[in-house]
Amino acid sequence: QVQPVESGGGLVQAGGSLRLSCAASGRTLSTYAMGWFRQAPGKEREFVAAINWRGDNTRYADSVKGRFTFSRDNAKNTVYLQMNDLKPEDTAVYYCAASMTRDYILTYYYTFPSKYDYWGQGTQVTVSS
């Protein structure tokens, strides 16, 4: 069992950048596909980005495409979400999740929370206008 732990959230002005990190305790992350989801107050949890276990295939929500970059460093047992040109509508709690599946290509199913087996506690990102 792996326990993702997020860090790097905070308060930033619109147009600014943040980098979220997700490390793991218990087991290596290198064998898991990883995902980022976010949840704003009063809204459902929504998909942000996913990366396969090898780090050579990614998938993004249309709302963040071109602004966010998902990467992984398996040697450091950490994944990263670089968020640039942040907007107030990006404000949410961001969750890191791990999936035990080992697909090379991230299909549409990776946009569903049910595809993931382990979840972190979340980190708050607030973007002021």
- Residue 1: the pLDDT is 81
- Residue 115: the pLDDT is 95
- Residue 81: the pLDDT is 98
- Residue 98: the pLDDT is 95
Q: Rounded to an integer, what distance in angstroms lies between the CA atom of residue 122 and that of residue 110?
A: 19
Give me the residues of the chain with pLDDT under 70, please.
none
- Residue 69: the pLDDT is 98
Give bridge partners of residue 96 from the DSSP assignment: 36
- Residue 32: the pLDDT is 93
3, 23, 20: which is closest to 92 by C-alpha? 20
